């Protein structure tokens, strides 16, 4: 059984017009459809990659799954149970089993907490371990995250580098041995030189602790490396979903094709094809009916302007939302 099942997830935000605009032209609030009907599932132990450009709704989706924000619509089932219908004790259990690794290790850590307190905090809040058990487990997890506990236990975030902070953030996420980890662009704020080390840490941990993971990134070369299945998203919707190797080597959706063609190839002789995409990144504000990608697609047809293509299976396990197929 899938550990997590998301169906028709929607998260809308309402942009209220100014008082004057409302008075003068009777303007209605504008709707930002940050996530608009996403359905997917994650199997136990699987790493599912989520790719898409900035603003397409990746973080909004992860906040809803982590139950940090109630979605506008749709359901999220964890081990078969609807997370919006959980009792207080069930929510507590959910919070201990599902963890987020945040993008920005400068913002996500409490500046008043030492590394020890940061990592010990979930143990104190969500378990009934005694002091000695908390100390042992905290030390063990800090060491597992690649830092010397004796050296780092009393350090505050401002006394650590970005990579060290991110290791502390990862230790905090893993200290309770979660079953599902959502890593929301955990490398994007870090120096290129230390990214590989943090990526290896997450991969090693996922193998050792065998948690399921949604790994979010806008970098397809990282995702092709770490994820078993890959989901490509554009303006709140899933455009393509399949086994990573299949999606990378044989993308179907025009957006997926453009995105994959843009992955850097480390060869000076390589001549990049002209990108098969037009226009600029659109905004999910009051989106028009039909396909979200229609304004940028070079293969746009009449139907794309009025009917949103459903995500359908065009090969076993390979799903695409495009009227071309
Ligand atoms: N709290 C919010 N209020 C209004 N709009 C929001 C809010 N959070 C996100 N958005 C908008 O929703 C869209 C998706 O944002 P986000 O999920 O952060 O994208 P990503 O993580 O893919 O970069 C963006 O257009 C963003 O401006
Ligand atoms: Mg984000």
Domain ranges for the chain, please list them.
4-276
88: helix, strand or coil: helix
The average confidence (pLDDT) of the chain is 92
272 pLDDT higher than 70:
no
Q: Does domain 4-276 have CATH number 2.20.25.90?
A: no
Taking the CA of 52 as reference, the closest ligand is 1
Residues 6+ positions from 214 with CB-CB distance below 8 Å: 42, 48, 50, 62, 65, 180, 181, 182, 183
Assess whether the C-beta atom of 33 lies below 6 angstroms from ligand 1: no
Residues 6+ positions from 82 with CB-CB distance below 8 Å: 75, 76
Output phi, psi for 145, to 5 deg. Answer: -80, 5
pLDDT at 275: 66
Mind listing the pLDDT tens digit for each residue in 62-101? 999 999 999 999 999 999 999 999 999 999 999 999 999 9
Mean pLDDT for 179-199 is 92
Report which of 303, 259, 300 is spatially closest to residue 281, judged by C-alpha positions.
259
Residue located nearest, by CA, to atom 27 of ligand 1: 55
Residue 161 CA: distances (Å) to CA of 106, 115, 167, 175: 9, 12, 10, 21
Assess whether the C-beta atom of 55 lies below 6 angstroms from ligand 1: yes
Measured from the CA of 185, which atom of ligand 1 is nearest? 21
pLDDT at 149: 96
Residue 35 CA: distances (Å) to CA of 155, 185, 284: 38, 17, 9
Mind listing the pLDDT tens digit for each residue in 126-153? 999 999 999 999 999 999 999 999 999 9
Mean pLDDT for 157-183 is 95
Q: E-strand spans in the chain?
A: 4-15, 30-42, 47-51, 73-78, 81-82, 98-101, 180-184, 212-217, 229-234, 237-243, 312-315, 318-320
Q: Quick one: pLDDT band at residue 56, thresholds 50, 70, 90?
A: very high
Q: Quick one: pLDDT band at residue 322, thresholds 50, 70, 90?
A: very high
Mean pLDDT for 23-27 is 75
Neighbouring residues of the ion ligand 2, judged by CB less than 5 Å: 58-59
């Amino acid at each position: 059984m899938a550990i997590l099942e998301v169906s028709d997830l929607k998260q809308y935000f309402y942009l209220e017009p100014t008082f004057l605009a409302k008075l003068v032209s009777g303007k209605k609030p504008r709707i930002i459809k940050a996530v608009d009907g996403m359905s997917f599932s994650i199997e136990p132990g699987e790493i599912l990659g989520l790719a898409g450009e900035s603003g397409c709704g990746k973080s909004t989706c992860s906040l809803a799954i982590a139950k940090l924000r109630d979605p506008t619509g749709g359901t999220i089932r964890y081990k078969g149970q609807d997370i919006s219908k959980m009792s207080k004790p069930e929510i507590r259990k959910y919070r201990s089993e599902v963890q987020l690794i945040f993008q920005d290790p400068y913002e996500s850590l409490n500046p008043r907490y030492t590394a020890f307190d940061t990592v010990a905090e979930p143990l104190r809040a969500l378990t009934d371990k005694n002091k000695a058990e908390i100390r042992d487990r905290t030390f063990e997890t800090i060491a597992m995250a690649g830092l010397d506990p004796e050296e780092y236990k009393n350090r505050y975030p401002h006394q650590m580098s970005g990579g060290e902070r991110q290791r502390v953030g990862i230790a905090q996420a893993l200290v309770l041995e979660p079953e599902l980890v959502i890593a929301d662009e955990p490398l994007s704020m870090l120096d290129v030189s230390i990214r590989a080390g943090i990526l290896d840490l997450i991969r090693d941990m996922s193998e050792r602790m065998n948690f399921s993971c949604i790994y979010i990134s806008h970098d397809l070369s990282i995702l092709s490396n770490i994820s078993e299945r890959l989901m490509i998203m554009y303006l709140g919707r899933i455009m393509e979903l399949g086994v990573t190797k299949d999606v990378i080597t044989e993308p179907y959706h025009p957006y997926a094709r453009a995105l994959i063609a843009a992955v850097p190839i480390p060869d000076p002789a390589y001549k990049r094809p002209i990108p098969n995409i037009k226009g600029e990144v659109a905004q999910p504000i009051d989106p028009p009916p039909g396909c979200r990608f229609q304004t940028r697609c070079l293969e746009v047809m009449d139907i794309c302007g009025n009917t949103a293509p459903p995500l359908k299976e065009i090969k076993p396990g390979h799903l695409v939302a495009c009227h071309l197929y």
